[in-house]
Amino acid sequence: MFRVSVALGLTRPLVVRTTLVGDPGDLLARLPEAAPYAWIRRGEGLVAWGEAARVAVPPGPGRFDWARRWLSAILGEAHTDDEAGVPGSGPVAFGSFTFDPDAHGSVLVVPRVVLARRDGRAWLTTVGDEHLDLVTPPADPGRIRYGDGSLTAPEWEHAVALAVRQIRSGRLEKAVLARDLTAVAERPIDVRLLLSRLASRYPECYTFSCAGLVGATPELLVRRTGETIESLVLAGTVSRGTSQADDDARGAGLFASDKDRYEHTCAVESVREALAPLCAELTVPTEPELLVLPNVQHLASPVTGRLADGASVLDVVAAMHPTAAVGGTPTRTALDVIRELEGMDRAGYAGPVGWIDARGDGEWGIALRCAQIEGPRARLFAGCGIMGDSDPASELAEAQAKLRVMQYALEG
């Protein structure tokens, strides 16, 4: 079992206080510059800063169990005074896990300060002495220069063609291939500016920031509130139209597409198989709905359930990752194909990102439409589900449409 002194070198548990506060207004506007954390949708959620505790999660198949035990020691042994008593109050940890279990880079952080608003209530959580951090206006990064990532556009199209060939051979049914793009700014990139632009333009998405990974994901991997869990499965994509009629036609075409409907079915079934052993009740819609975002439209299926044994949100994350929506079908074969063809380390892209509190409640998304930020540099990511009838040029166009989310965040 972990002890706080062993895990952190601390001589005593964390001292945490949560107090109810008045409406803070724009949560993102309250963030100081240094290393902000965020999970925002429709203006509600959590923002945080500072680090009371931080750990690099060791890679390997047992990483989620290791993380759960570390969190149990840190959050469970904290001395907590919590006026709010709601999901997200008391001690909270933000986390980002790499897509590949064998890759380094997964991290958990307990911030020093958390400011939150949900369902008409707002609260402030501090760890140790209250910290007042200077809030300065976000700085513009200046001109952005883009470059190829691990593969050029023609090389990535070739990788798609190779994946299609393997799918048609019967080796697998679906593989999700990701593409990266590099960006270099004139000045250091202020994460707060990206968060503000993303939250404003994509209010239906979950705008997140954790350890330099910043984005706005449309895909909720899991939300746990007590015994209740929710997930939103996305698979099947088309870009927005140039007019309302074109837009409607594209949405109708997506809904009628055998390729996209089958891709969506694979993703839904992977979630059903992961959640069924954990749930006493599980509700999965028989038909998807259309999720319309400013840049693309998705086939979407909201899934709900009731946990059977009180598993924490991180236990559910461990069971679900990777879904077919970001890996493929069957999972193990798809992961082998990804390693063979992508030519890159995905890092946190398509991995779980979110937060968890001491009750085991929390919200975790799949890190899509995101970038890894370091100083003036950014690495942008996008991915596409490849099926047997996928066209490489069309998949490249879809990836470029998804990359525009973070290009907009950088350029405004």
Using CA atoms, how far apart are residues 195 and 184, in angstroms rounded to an integer? 18
107-110 and 53-56 strand pairing: antiparallel
By the 10 Å C-beta count (0-12 exposed, 13-18 middle, 19+ buried), 357 is classed as buried
Per the CB < 8 A criterion, the answer to whether 90 and 111 are in contact is no
Is 219 an annotated catalytic residue? yes
* Annotated active-site residue in 33, 83, 157, 174: 174
220 in helix, strand or coil? strand
- Do 147 and 379 touch, CB atoms closer than 8 A? no
Distance CA(364)–CA(95), nearest Å, equals: 9
Q: Which of 44, 157, 219, 263 is the catalytic position?
A: 219
Angstrom distance (rounded) from CA 273 to CA 289: 21
Q: How many CA atoms lie within 13 A of 400 on its CB side?
A: 12
* Catalytic residue flag (residue 411): no
Question: 352-357 and 174-185 as β-strands: parallel, antiparallel, unpaired?
Answer: unpaired
Residue partners of 222: CB distance under 8 A and separation at least 6: 229, 230, 231, 313, 316, 317, 320, 363, 364
The whole-angstrom distance between residue 305's C-alpha and the CA centroid of its chain comes to 20
Which residues are part of the catalytic machinery? 174, 219
